[in-house]
């Protein structure tokens, strides 16, 4: 039995942040029933190019493995009736909508507690349900700009830069999953559910971590660092070998710096006053980096990586996506998942990094829209064919 097989989630979700959060829960066995609005063709992620065909895409497949789907227009009274029946047999109502929309759709705890006092209502939004930005749409790119991320990324003389990945969305999804599990635990203990108000803004701001503390407490003004350098530890950044290939060296401990000095044949640098400790190296970073650049330019990067790894210095090459996928460690950690799809054939995607006990196998592809209508309506809710036909005639499942 998978760890979360006893949790049922009704997910009014779409695109990236919301579905990414429930993806990990579905992989762990939670029953995630996607409620897709037929007026808009379901989850907008179904239509994201470049690998898109009809009502499906590899983008959608990435975030919706192991889930179920039903088309339901909860703006219609008939659709709302079905939704409320689902709430009665669910543990969670999960959504990722603009912060003011859950109240408008009446999917907050106070709207649903009469149906199920233990229901947990998780909202993932750009800015949360309150505050001056609550009714603004929040996308990863916008949030990376607002919360300081872009000001910290890129070269000092270049423009503010977005991370290459939608890390605010993905981090927000993981925060939502954590909030959901805590909410379910409390609801089962106390018999009373609640709202879980997860904000991507909150998530992004909290991920400033020590830089936020340094600024708030010490007045630190973080700046973009050349070659992705650490803001205070030196050397901890990109270097280039004689082959013009980049690699990372990270001296997070004094012993690592001493070993770097030995590997490049400059043990004197470890005791020289200008570079003798973290503070001295930070104060004289330009001089030290210039010396290291000259040393590393004498041999190919692969030789330096091998030599540094041999003495335990944290180091590694800068790989492209293809290199990361082909890395032997990727295979050893079983990070690739295969599912079969009627249009795309074998879909190869990345496994959830969440590990609980033994490896979980036997994944299902993402659902086609409304694929599980018979199961949800007939088996779960016990509707007779006449009732389903009546609801359809009243617009519950779209026109």
* pLDDT tens digits, 257-271: 999 999 999 999 999
Q: 230, 258, 341, 363: which is the annotated catalytic residue?
A: 230
Percent residues over pLDDT 90 in the chain: 97
Distance CA 297, CA 140 (A): 38
Distance CA 173, CA 45 (A): 15
CA quadruple 107, 112, 117, 119: dihedral positive or negative?
A: negative
Q: Indicate the average pLDDT of the chain.
A: 96
Q: Which CATH number is 226-318's, of 3.40.470.10, 3.10.129.10, 3.30.1540.10, 3.40.1160.10?
A: 3.30.1540.10
What pLDDT was estimated at residue 360? 80
Give 71's strand partners: 36
Determine phi and psi for 321, rounding to 5 degrees. -60, -40
What pLDDT was estimated at residue 362? 84
Catalytic residue flag (residue 185): no
Percent residues over pLDDT 70 in the chain: 100
Q: Which helix (H) or strand (E) holds 10?
A: strand 8-12
Say how far residue 300 (Cα) sits from the centre of its chain. Answer: 35
Least confident of 51-65, 239-253, 345-359: 345-359
Task: Give long-range contacts, CB 8 A cutoff, 24+ apart: 131-140.
Answer: 133/99, 133/201, 134/99, 134/100, 135/98, 135/99, 135/100, 136/98, 136/99, 137/98, 138/98, 138/99, 138/199, 138/200, 138/201, 140/16, 140/17, 140/166, 140/167, 140/168, 140/169, 140/200
Domain definitions of the chain by residue range: 8-206+332-393, 226-318
**pLDDT (tens digit per residue) in 361-380:** 889 999 999 999 999 999 99
- Prediction pTM value: 0.94
Q: Which CATH number is 8-206+332-393's, of 3.90.1170.50, 3.40.50.10540, 3.20.20.20, 3.90.1150.10?
A: 3.40.50.10540
Q: What mean pLDDT do residues 126-146 have?
A: 95
What pLDDT was estimated at residue 358? 84
DSSP symbol at 121:
E
Distance CA 248, CA 229 (A): 9
Number of DSSP helices (H) and strands (E) in the chain, helices first: 18, 13
């Amino acid at each position: 039995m998978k760890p979360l097989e006893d949790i049922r989630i009704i997910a009014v979700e779409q695109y990236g942040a919301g579905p990414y959060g429930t993806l990990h829960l579905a992989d762990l066995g939670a029953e995630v029933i996607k409620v897709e609005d037929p007026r808009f063709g379901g989850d907008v992620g179904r239509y994201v190019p470049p690998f898109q065909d009809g009502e499906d895409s590899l983008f959608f497949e990435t975030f919706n493995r192991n889930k179920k789907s039903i088309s339901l227009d909860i703006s219609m009274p008939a659709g709302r009736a079905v939704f409320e029946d689902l709430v009665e047999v669910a543990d969670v109502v999960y959504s990722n909508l603009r912060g003011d929309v859950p109240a408008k759709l009446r999917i907050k705890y106070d709207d649903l507690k009469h149906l199920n006092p233990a229901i947990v209502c998780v909202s993932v939004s750009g800015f949360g349900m309150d505050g001056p930005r609550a009714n603004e749409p929040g996308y990863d790119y916008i949030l990376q700009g607002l919360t300081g991320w872009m000001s910290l990324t890129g070269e000092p003389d270049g423009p503010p830069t977005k991370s290459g990945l939608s890390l605010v969305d993905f981090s927000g999804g993981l925060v939502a999953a954590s909030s959901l599990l805590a909410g379910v635990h409390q609801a089962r203990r106390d018999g009373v559910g609640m709202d879980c108000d997860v904000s991507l803004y909150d998530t992004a701001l909290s991920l400033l971590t020590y830089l936020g503390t340094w600024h708030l407490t010490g007045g630190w003004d973080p700046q973009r660092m050349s070659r992705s350098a650490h803001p205070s530890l030196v050397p901890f950044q990109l270097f280039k070998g004689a082959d013009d290939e980049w690699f990372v060296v990270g001296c997070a401990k004094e012993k690592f710096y001493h070993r770097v000095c030995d590997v490049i044949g400059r043990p004197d640098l470890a005791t020289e006053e200008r570079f003798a400790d973290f503070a001295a190296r930070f104060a004289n970073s330009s001089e030290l980096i210039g010396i290291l650049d000259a040393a590393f330019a004498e041999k190919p990067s692969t030789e330096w990586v091998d030599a540094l790894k041999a003495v335990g210095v944290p180091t590694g090459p800068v790989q492209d996506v293809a290199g990361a996928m082909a890395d032997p460690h990727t295979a050893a950690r079983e990070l690739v998942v295969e599912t079969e799809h009627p249009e795309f054939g074998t879909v190869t995607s990345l496994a959830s990094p969440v590990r609980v006990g033994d490896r979980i196998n036997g994944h299902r592809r993402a659902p086609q829209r409304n694929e599980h209508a018979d199961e949800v309506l007939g088996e779960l809710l016990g509707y007779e064919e006449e009732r389903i036909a009546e609801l359809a005639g009243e617009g519950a499942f779209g026109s």
